[in-house]
A and B are shown apart, each in its own frame.
Chain A
Amino acid sequence: MPYPVEQNEKFSAYTHPERLVSTEWLAAAIESGAVRDGGLVVVESDEDVLLYETGHIPGSVKIDWHTDLNDEVTRDYVDGEAFAALAAAKGISRDSTVVIYGDKSNWWAAYALWVFTLFGHEDVRLLDGGRDKWISEGRELTTDVPSPAPGNYPVVERNDAPIRAFKEDVLAHLGKPLIDVRSPEEYTGQRTHMPAYPEEGALRGGHIPTAASIPWARAAAPDGTYRSREELEALYLGEAGLTAGDDVVAYCRIGERSSHTWFALKYLLGFDTVRNYDGSWTEWGNAVRVPIVKGADRGTVPSSRPATAAASN
């Protein structure tokens, strides 16, 4: 049974307020025993693989983006069988309400939520502000790792198409709106990787033609919560130039930062068709015969597109 949705003024302005919960709400739900009796499953998903072990929200379970959600061999996510096994082991059933939170303004938590959505998990929500907000408010942490009763999770095949774009999809999409959520230095091509992530570099620096540059963190307030609807509209409708109903693709470097933006566009502003291109710049920047644009200008779609032309011959 889905757990009741939080009602507050900030969330009610969003298109899908049921996708967010506040720290106050979660603390009250835990207090009421919702996690203990299995009505609510709280999941921590961080960049740092050991952070959960240093202390986490009482009753929460850990899901690691790399060891749990990525396939070990193929550059892809786990399949339906592995996901069902993972979910069941974490005490998650198909109809569970899942609340995900994590470090770095929910950067990886949003990524985990996006992967849950690939499997069509219905009720999955994000803790607004994530781990840092919970801690800064002095709320309870524990190092006790729960052993939940196994969930009942069917094997569901992933349905990538609605929210995931592959390179070929992006080539076909050129001309429609793209949001590049990397840093300005990565967008212009000054840098081919994030300052601290040299191994995820690319051979060329720049961006996908016509992509608007809106670094992901601009959607977050200093306390890590999502900005208000009004502020998000100024960012994406104003600055990026999106219009309601647009078909949008967001990308970054490996698809995690863009999950944070995907969430904002899809659930907070209500764009129906938003896809995350998880191949992102590590694929596009290294791919043969795909067009890129260098510098701060968005650029234009090249008239001949060798990669698609070659594919259709």
Chain B
Amino acid sequence: MNTDSLPATLAEIVDDFQALTEPERLQLLLEFSRGLPELPEHLKDHPELLEQVVECQSPLFLTIETEKGDGGAPDSVRLYFKAPPEAPTTRGFAGVLHEGLDGLSAQEILAVPDDMPELLGLTRAITPLRMRGMTAMLGRIKRKVAASARFQG
């Protein structure tokens, strides 16, 4: 698998990771963990609107919302994540997926290969077990996007 099959922003992120040495990749993941945006006001006090991804080692909650596209443009999918600051690895994965996928169409998100997290080159440093959490996060996003697309179609 190469980055050709990925949406442009996600492909760029993957390229950035691949261009780095292993310790630098961890540092970049840490930056993504810091860049993960807070939940918007309408979700902040409503934990029931978020779903937990139990495969993650630390508590990670997420949800998606669909925004109508302007003038014939396809609807865009918004992603929202919540993870505690004491779980930087989990937050970092969420940050990568947020920056790489937020605002794309359902079709673009569904086309992302399930094993995309492997491309970041973190498996050795992070352990396969920790990688599993990121794969599960992507899987959960895709399932939710697919369900929501069916509902609206």
**A and B bound?**
yes
Interface of A toward B, CB cutoff 8 Å: 47-51, 53-54, 66-67, 72, 103, 195-200
Q: List 17 extra interface pairs beyond A198-B55, A198-B132, CB under 8 A.
A: A47-B57, A48-B58, A48-B86, A48-B88, A48-B89, A49-B26, A49-B126, A49-B130, A50-B33, A51-B86, A51-B88, A67-B125, A72-B124, A195-B54, A196-B54, A196-B57, A199-B128
Shortest beta-carbon distance from A145 to chain B in Å = 11
Task: Tell me the nearest residue of chain B to A67, going by C-beta.
Answer: B125
Shortest beta-carbon distance from A104 to chain B in Å = 9
List B residues 79-97 near A (Cβ within 8 Å).
85-90, 92
Shortest beta-carbon distance from B150 to chain A in Å = 27
Report whether A53 and B88 are in contact in the complex, using a CB–CB cutoff of 8 Å. yes
Q: Given A66-B127, A67-B125, are A50 and B92 neighbors across the interface (CB < 8 Å)?
A: yes
Q: Which chain A residues lie closer than 8 Å to B127 at the CB level?
A: 49, 66
Interface of B toward A, CB cutoff 8 Å: 26-27, 29-30, 33, 54-58, 85-90, 92, 124-130, 132
Report whether A199 and B33 are in contact in the complex, using a CB–CB cutoff of 8 Å. no
Task: Tell me the nearest residue of chain B to A53, going by C-beta.
Answer: B30
Complex Cα spacing A200 to B92, Å: 22
Shortest beta-carbon distance from B1 to chain A in Å = 21
Q: Which chain B residues lie closer than 8 Å to A72 at the CB level?
A: 124
Main secondary structure of the interface of B (DSSP, over half): helix
Q: Which chain B residues lie closer than 8 Å to A199 at the CB level?
A: 128-129, 132
The total number of A-B Cβ pairs within 8 Å is 52
Complex Cα spacing A72 to B128, Å: 12
Report whether B56 and A196 are in contact in the complex, using a CB–CB cutoff of 8 Å. yes
Q: Which chain A residues lie closer than 8 Å to B26 at the CB level?
A: 49-50, 53
Complex Cα spacing A200 to B55, Å: 11
Report whether A54 and B85 are in contact in the complex, using a CB–CB cutoff of 8 Å. yes
Q: Which chain B residues lie closer than 8 Å to A103 at the CB level?
A: 86
Q: Which chain A residues lie closer than 8 Å to B125 at the CB level?
A: 49, 67
Q: Which of B54, B57, B88 contacts A50 (CB 8 A)?
A: B88
Q: Which chain A residues lie closer than 8 Å to B92 at the CB level?
A: 50
Q: Which chain A residues lie closer than 8 Å to B56 at the CB level?
A: 196
Report whether A50 and B29 are in contact in the complex, using a CB–CB cutoff of 8 Å. yes
Complex Cα spacing A103 to B90, Å: 15
Q: Which 5 residue pairs are nearest across A and B when measured between Cβ atoms?
A: A50-B88, A66-B127, A199-B129, A50-B89, A199-B132
Q: Which chain B residues lie closer than 8 Å to A47 at the CB level?
A: 57
Shortest beta-carbon distance from A22 to chain B in Å = 22
Complex Cα spacing A114 to B75, Å: 54
Shortest beta-carbon distance from A198 to chain B in Å = 6
Report whether B88 and A196 are in contact in the complex, using a CB–CB cutoff of 8 Å. no
Shortest beta-carbon distance from B91 to chain A in Å = 9
Q: Which chain B residues lie closer than 8 Å to A51 at the CB level?
A: 86, 88-89
Complex Cα spacing A249 to B130, Å: 28
Complex Cα spacing A53 to B86, Å: 11
Complex Cα spacing A221 to B20, Å: 42
Complex Cα spacing A66 to B131, Å: 13
Q: Which chain B residues lie closer than 8 Å to A50 at the CB level?
A: 26, 29-30, 33, 88-89, 92
